[in-house]
Amino acid sequence: MSKTEIKLGVVRTIKTAEFESLHITVEIKEIIDWSTEAERTKGMREVVDHLNGDYRRAHVVLTDSLGVKRSLGIGKLENKRTGEINTANVEADDGEVDIF
């Protein structure tokens, strides 16, 4: 039987306002026992699933408790040849882009 130590992490930065960001960092460290490559692959997937679940729960708790519902920004594209400016990926009613 072999052992593998797995360390994974997720870091996400959410812009909440001008010159203000929320950084969410989740890290996980686990040891898996395996005899075959298939068992090792299965164990790796389980660790990744744990990390994803931990991140999702942390994201919900933090954004809900701080009142952060979305990350806002304005996207504009300028055609250098014609000078035409178009707003990209923007809600028609508020002129802001959901980044996540």
- 19 dihedral zone (left: phi>0; alpha: psi -120 to 50; beta): left
Q: What secondary structure does DSSP assign to 22-77, as a single string?
A: EEEEEEEEEEEEESSHHHHHHHHHHHHHHHHHHHHHHHHHHHHHHT--------EE
Q: What percent of the chain has pLDDT over 90?
A: 45
Would you list the domain boundaries of the chain?
2-69, 70-100
- C-alpha span between 80 and 55 (Å, rounded): 41
For residue 96, is pLDDT > 70? no
Average pLDDT over residues 53-75: 79
For residue 22, is pLDDT > 60? yes
